[in-house]
Amino acid sequence: MSGVKLESIFKCYGNLEVVHGIDLEVQEKEFVVLVGPSGCGKSTTLRMIAGLEEITDGTISIDGREVNRVAPKDRDVAMVFQNYALYPHLKVFENIAFGLRIRKESKEHIAKTVAEVSEILGLTPYLDRKPAELSGGQRQRVAMGRAIVRHPKVFLFDEPLSNLDAKLRTQMRAEIKRLHKRLGATSVYVTHDQVEAMTLADRIVVMNDGYIEQIGTPMELFTNPANTFVASFIGSPPMNQLPGVIDVTSDGKKATVNDVTFTLPDHINVENGQAVVIGMRPEHFSISPVDGASTIPVSLNLVEPLGSEALLHTSIGEHALVVKTETHGAIDHLSNVQHLYAPANLVSVFDAESGLALTGSHN
């Protein structure tokens, strides 16, 4: 069982506590992504798993064995960094083979393993080149090759794609996903890019300021964010959040934002007059052709065409509201939008003070 378990992990630099007692269990073969804003403690957490950073308190286990005091080289983990960390004077072949040479593997074994891994990564034509003669994406593949040949129990990635341009990043993202399917290796992957997190992860861990805000599958976090932080971090554009006041009426639960009424799901736990934040994903609105009893009147400020979709920048009073809609090739009609429809079962409700979700789960 090559899982990773973090129990009540704290990290202090001097007097400054930057990780505040986090718990996380990564299952064998699982791909877990740590995501969160800059400085939230992602790299620190990853480096503690690798053994490159001492933990201040708590327990880390790999494969069921406590590794708190085990040296990095004896933890059987391989780490891939943002800056590749290749040896510039060595050819690609030797860069990939490096860990095997250290282990004093046989010449035949090294040749066979490097050949296999280079084939998987599309590096076979480049084995005689030095890192300086490669593109960024090829260098990143060499760094991954070097990790793969070691057959580690756990792969650790710290923003491995952030030095690449947008197109190459998308391509490498797909390659990492394919590679994980093929190798099935337990992986912990750090990024601040929520799209990368959504596309790669079996489960996402959203971190903020040294705490874990929520752990769940990409769809769980998208559909049922535990709080306003997760709601605004996952999804692009993020979930709209509007301040509202609860009105429990004989025909259901509602919230008013300025003078506009949102119908809410029945199963939420709210009181009359409670201050809340209404959350609605840009893609969950539909455009209503007419002014109806349950429609939301908005002012349209800007239409941003993106090709197959368009973003409508609208507002309710002073509150901005972004809507994402399919264009079906035409956008002229969008400049007349005045009314939206927000299906009650897709509205999220958070307590205004704590930011915690008041909705039960959407089904």
Ligand X SMILES: Nc1ncnc2c1ncn2[C@@H]1O[C@H](COP(=O)(O)OP(=O)(O)OP(=O)(O)O)[C@@H](O)[C@H]1O
User: Angle, to 10 degrees, between the axis of helix 136-148 and the axis of helix 166-183?
Assistant: 20
Helix (H) or strand (E) holding 78: strand 77-80
Q: Report the residue closest to Mg ion, judged by CB.
A: 43
Binding range to ligand X, per CB under 6 A, among 38-46, 69-77, 143-151, 330-338: 38-46
Q: Nearest distance from residue 213's CB to ligand X, in Å?
A: 13
Residues 168-207 that bind ligand X (CB under 6 A): 192
Q: Does 15 bind ligand X (CB under 6 A)?
A: no
Residue of 30, 33, 41, 134 that binds ligand X (CB under 6 A): 41
Name which of Mg ion, ligand X, none residue 87 binds, using a CB cut-off of 5 to 8 Å depending on partner kind.
none
Residue of 2, 11, 36, 43 that binds Mg ion (CB under 5 A): 43
Name which of ligand X, Mg ion, none residue 12 binds, using a CB cut-off of 5 to 8 Å depending on partner kind.
none
Q: Does 18 bind ligand X (CB under 6 A)?
A: yes
**271 φ, ψ (degrees, to nearest 5):** -120, 155
Q: Does 40 bind ligand X (CB under 6 A)?
A: yes
| CA atoms of 53 and 51, how far apart (whole Å) | 5
| CA atoms of 127 and 121, how far apart (whole Å) | 11
Q: In the chain, where does DSSP find H-type helix? A: 42-50, 92-102, 107-121, 136-148, 166-183, 194-200, 218-223, 228-233
User: Which is closer to ligand X, CB of 43 or CB of 314?
Assistant: 43
What is the distance of C-alpha 204 from the center of its chain?
6
| CA atoms of 329 and 203, how far apart (whole Å) | 35
Length of the chain: 363
Name which of Mg ion, ligand X, none residue 292 binds, using a CB cut-off of 5 to 8 Å depending on partner kind.
none
User: Which is closer to Mg ion, CB of 25 or CB of 53?
Assistant: 53
Residues lying near Mg ion in the complex (CB under 5 A): 43
**Residues of this chain that bind ligand X (CB under 6 A):** 13, 18, 36, 38-44, 192
